[in-house]
Amino acid sequence: MKVFVVDPSLFSPTYDAQFCEALGGLGLDVRLIGRRPRGHEEVEERDFTLVPHFYRITESLPDFLAPLARLGKGIEHAFDMYRLVALAEREKPDV
């Protein structure tokens, strides 16, 4: 069974990783759909796959453009949600 766990901003990467690992340990094919982890964050992929789907542009902007990134993040979120629908149609998760 294929499962998508979606946390666009990875607000709780440790919880997400442990939750996905537990689901994967049950034999499920788990994808954690979020953003790319930042330099100080570690998301060890055990029994699941991290898909860096969200905020690819705004997360890559340099710090001095942070005000622009905050504005653009909302726009990028809407676009990434649209892309998530396309990804789900392609991958056909069960949950």
Structure pTM? 0.88
Query: Which residues, at least 6 apart from 48, have a Cβ–Cβ distance to it below 8 Å?
Result: 5, 17, 20, 21, 23, 24, 30, 31, 32
Half-sphere exposure of 14 (CA within 13 A, CB side): 2
Where in the chain are the domains? 2-91
Q: Beta strand 29-35 with 2-6: parallel, antiparallel or unpaired?
A: parallel
Average of per-residue pLDDT across 19-48 = 94
Q: Does position 44 have pLDDT exceeding 90, yes or no?
A: no
pLDDT score for 60: 87
20 pLDDT above the threshold of 90: yes
Q: How does pLDDT run across 46-74, given as a tens digit for each residue?
A: 999 999 999 999 988 888 888 888 888 99
Residue 26 CB partners (closer than 8 Å, separation 6+): none
